[in-house]
Structure 1
Amino acid sequence: MPREIVLDELQPGSEPLELEPEVAATLRDSGLVSVVPAHGGAWTILPAGRVGAVQIDDLLVRVKPKGKVGLSRLLFLLGYAADPGFRPEDVAAVEDGDLFAALGESLARHSERALERGPLHGYVQVEEALRTVRGRIRVGDQMTRRPGLLLPLEVAYDDYTVDVAENRILRAAVQLMMHVPRLSDTVRSRLSHLDSKLDNVSSLRYGTQLPAWAGSRLNEHYVPALRLSEIVLKTMSAEAGLGQRMVASFVVNMATVFEDFVATALKEALDPYPGVTEWQYEAFMDEAEPGFRGGERVRMYVDVVHSVRGQPTMIFDAKYKAASTGGTYPNADHYQMLAYCTALEVPRAWLVYAGRGNVRVRRVRNSDVSVAEFPLDLSQEPEALLLRVHELADRAYRSEFAVDAAAGA
């Protein structure tokens, strides 16, 4: 009989379960949850800072994000972090209690739209040995590989083909999804039909680096399907585990997703303002000392720093964590912001938290430093979420440059 275990991302624990050792080991190796021995041969399953689902034979374990973040919002956050990738209109994912079924439906839908006009064609450089001249002869390779021989010739030419990066990524995601359990026969049939449309496209080996592609007028109708395909290929697996059990998993580190989203969205929101926005800005907390190497200094990596004329002026740090029952956040976060402000000589840092609430500014005693707490509710619609990030950029700019703006008016 199928079993399903549903955990909340912030859930402190669950009742011990009886699991076969192979199943417990496979579940632990997925990275979605921690699996620790309990009494009587049972196992305790605990959230491990990630969300998603793992299916092992007839056992399904799901970990839901905090704050009622559904699949559409999760896909938006994942996709938008790619320069940005997904736009709000691209993520009308199916909200289904079964994550695998919803992902399968979403991938089928986006891929069908991408392939409505047939597979994309493009020019690909091909290098091979032929008995006739095509393109240009690779003289160096000819002399190295076939010294003294006239045929076959080592040539290079551009071929107009469907075997382009976009189609290879799309087909790899479709083929991977076809091996995922819990899909309806209808969705599996649609995915199979999509795979047949890409029959002349070479398959990518699982785990290999995805080929590079760039958005253009020619492939813009592919972009939503490509972004979703990349998410599927980077976060999912479907293979035989220990004991040849069928294992499928979709595992996402929400802290990393949130930090990437905030950095990308802030960079876009701050673009109209003077200056340059940098992600993972490297700085030192301590002064350089004579006789000591740079590697011995205390390094700091600030999530987002906006600089004007080479001088840091705005600091942002994203924190994916829960507030206490009283609505406060860990003291260590504020100590960290104080260190950033002191080292970079910036009067205010913005702590961007994933959650609901109001903006609160805390002035550090006996200093000119302030730390602003700025909640970002991830359950909002994508448009509202992006507007909230633009509000953050505007507040930060006005708080730092109010005097300069008034003087220049």
Structure 2
Amino acid sequence: MTSDLTLTVQETGRGTLHKLTGDQVAALVAVPDLVRLSPTPSGLWTVRGNQRVGTVRLRTRSGDAIHLHLRPKLGIRDLLFLLSYSSTDPWRPEPVTAATTDDLLPAVADLLARTARRTLEAGVLHGYREVEEDLPLIRGSIRATAQLRRTGLPLPISVRYDDHTPDIPENRILLAALNLAAYLPGVPQPTRLALRHLADRLHGVRRPYPGEPLPAWTPTRLNARYSQALRLAELLLTGRSIQQDGGAPVVADGFLLDLPRVFERFLTMTLSAAGACHGIRCAPQDTHPLDKAGRTSIRPDLVLYRQGRPVSVVDAKYTSLEGKASREHLYQLLAYCTALGITHGHLVYAATTPGTAPIDHVIRRSSVTITAHALNLHEPPAGLLAQIDALAVRTATAPEE
């Protein structure tokens, strides 16, 4: 008799109490940073979120399943807008349906099904692929070297030709995502059936093997109608990554997002676009030496340049701004500004309430000012992008040394 366990955990908060077996605890801690566990004197366990959201299915050593639902503090519509900037080619998400507004994975799966259906309505994209094989007739060109090795054996003939086929990277990525979404837990049955039907339309496309790297594709005029579906597919396929940390392997599958990285990526993409209007170039994850000998380096989220010179530095913090920036964050930005030789740095926090004005922290006995900003992520897309524009103006007008 199996004893499957279903846990629903909020991304942030005090957590919930659960009675867990030793095998269940081992399965949860085997995936790094998935949740935070702490025992209580009563023998129960407090399960708290760890800034990750999604749906994960784990297997314990005894074969039982743990269905873990990690719920975001943001609304699904707001989170999908942040996710739309997860690639270099942002896409505008469609409205989610009423049936998928409470959970991330059903919303993404439903969005993938609707986008893929619209993409494939115009037909399956074909492309040319070079094929080398042995045939009983000549097709394309003869591979002379390979044929000469066949001394005394005229047939089959070693040939090379271009095949017009649907088995191209774009369709392989889409097929892998459709099959994955149809298999993952928590996807409603109607959406699951729609995903399988769409996968059947990609007849003749090879499904990538588990663990195989995603094939590379390049946006062109020919595959433009596939663009949004492929961005969603890549989001789903890369968001399923779950790594175990030593010990016995744990069977796990699901869709998992690291929200600090999502927020950082959104800030990078939007601030880069807004800063360009003010002659600012934003360089993400630039590495600079901290000490003169170069023994230690710094790697800010964003360094802002004007005419090749750094003018400001920005760091994204996926946490609330509780009246003032934390001491550790101020130390971090002070080190960045000192090493870069600039006088202004910016901390950008993820807020969920309106009305928090930027707070300037003027550092004593220093020329450095660190400004803490709070982006209200509950704003509609236009309002959120307006906040980014205001942030771009503030960072672009920072005084230069």
Q: Same fold (TM over 0.5)?
A: yes
Rounded to whole Å, the distance in 1 between the matches of 2:326 and 2:150 is 68
Q: Is residue 216 of structure 1 aligned with residue 217 of structure 2?
A: no
The answer to whether the 8 Å contact 2:272/2:282 transfers is yes
Q: CA deviation at 1:392?
A: 1.2
Tell me what 1:65 maps to: 72
Rounded to whole Å, the distance in 1 between the matches of 2:151 and 2:375 is 66
Q: CA deviation at 1:92?
A: 2.3
Rounded to whole Å, the distance in 2 between the matches of 1:351 and 1:98 is 30
Rounded to whole Å, the distance in 2 between the matches of 1:331 and 1:245 is 39
Q: CA deviation at 1:36?
A: 5.0
Relative distance call for 1:148 and 1:370 in structure 2 (3 A) is farther
Tell me what 2:374 maps to: 375
Rounded to whole Å, the distance in 2 between the matches of 1:8 and 1:184 is 21
Tell me what 1:303 maps to: 301
Report the secondary structure of 2:300's partner residue. Answer: strand
Report the secondary structure of 1:316's partner residue. Answer: strand
Q: CA deviation at 1:190?
A: 1.2
Relative distance call for 1:379 and 1:3 in structure 2 (3 A) is farther
Amino acid aligned to 2:19: E
Rounded to whole Å, the distance in 1 between the matches of 2:358 and 2:154 is 75
Report the secondary structure of 2:347's partner residue. Answer: strand
Amino acid aligned to 2:383: A
Relative distance call for 1:252 and 1:141 in structure 2 (3 A) is farther
Rounded to whole Å, the distance in 1 between the matches of 2:218 and 2:37 is 41
Pairs within 5 Å for 1:226-265? 226-236=230-240, 248-265=253-270
Q: CA deviation at 1:211?
A: 1.1
Q: Is residue 174 of structure 1 aligned with residue 178 of structure 2?
A: yes
Report the secondary structure of 1:109's partner residue. Answer: helix
TM-score by length of 2: 0.84
Q: Is residue 10 of structure 1 aligned with residue 6 of structure 2?
A: no
Report the secondary structure of 2:287's partner residue. Answer: strand
Rounded to whole Å, the distance in 1 between the matches of 2:210 and 2:161 is 28
Q: CA deviation at 1:137?
A: 4.5
The answer to whether the 8 Å contact 1:27/1:54 transfers is no
Q: CA deviation at 1:313?
A: 1.3
The answer to whether the 8 Å contact 2:12/2:48 transfers is no
Relative distance call for 1:365 and 1:60 in structure 2 (3 A) is same
Q: Of 82, 86, 90, which aligns to 1:81?
A: 86
Tell me what 2:282 maps to: 277
**Deviations 1:271-312, CA, capped at 9 Å, x for gaps:** 233353211111112113xxxxx4xx1200011112233221
Pairs within 5 Å for 1:7-406? 7-15=9-17, 17-31=18-32, 32-36=34-38, 42-55=44-57, 60-66=67-73, 69-87=74-92, 90-94=93-97, 95-138=100-143, 152-236=156-240, 248-288=253-293, 294=294, 297-324=295-322, 327-355=323-351, 356=353, 357-400=356-399
Relative distance call for 1:247 and 1:344 in structure 2 (3 A) is closer
Rounded to whole Å, the distance in 2 between the matches of 1:283 and 1:252 is 29
The answer to whether the 8 Å contact 1:30/1:54 transfers is no
**Deviations 1:360-407, CA, capped at 9 Å, x for gaps:** 222111222111112112222233322322221122113347x9xxxx
What percentage of aligned pairs have identical amino acids? 36
Aligned length: 384
Q: CA deviation at 1:334?
A: 1.0
Q: CA deviation at 1:270?
A: 1.8
The answer to whether the 8 Å contact 1:337/1:371 transfers is yes
Q: CA deviation at 1:26?
A: 3.2
Q: CA deviation at 1:318?
A: 0.9
Q: CA deviation at 1:224?
A: 1.9
Relative distance call for 1:161 and 1:358 in structure 2 (3 A) is same
Report the secondary structure of 1:120's partner residue. Answer: coil
- RMSD between aligned alpha carbons? 3.1
Amino acid aligned to 2:314: F
Rounded to whole Å, the distance in 1 between the matches of 2:328 and 2:145 is 61
The answer to whether the 8 Å contact 1:168/1:201 transfers is yes
Of the structure 1 ranges 154-163 and 2-11, higher mean CA displacement relative to structure 2 is found in 2-11
The answer to whether the 8 Å contact 1:163/1:202 transfers is yes
Report the secondary structure of 2:265's partner residue. Answer: helix
The answer to whether the 8 Å contact 2:345/2:371 transfers is yes
Of the structure 1 ranges 30-39 and 198-207, higher mean CA displacement relative to structure 2 is found in 30-39
Relative distance call for 1:397 and 1:237 in structure 2 (3 A) is closer
**Deviations 1:76-123, CA, capped at 9 Å, x for gaps:** 323312113323xx3423343244433332221111111111211222
Q: CA deviation at 1:207?
A: 2.4
The answer to whether the 8 Å contact 2:281/2:304 transfers is yes
The answer to whether the 8 Å contact 1:30/1:249 transfers is no
Amino acid aligned to 1:212: A
Rounded to whole Å, the distance in 2 between the matches of 1:312 and 1:393 is 15
Amino acid aligned to 2:202: L
Report the secondary structure of 1:214's partner residue. Answer: coil
Q: What residue ranges of structure 1 are gaps of 5+ in the alignment?
A: 289-293, 404-409
- Which structure is higher in helix share? 1
Rounded to whole Å, the distance in 1 between the matches of 2:314 and 2:146 is 52
Tell me what 1:406 maps to: none
The answer to whether the 8 Å contact 1:341/1:369 transfers is yes
The answer to whether the 8 Å contact 1:75/1:228 transfers is no
Amino acid aligned to 1:352: V
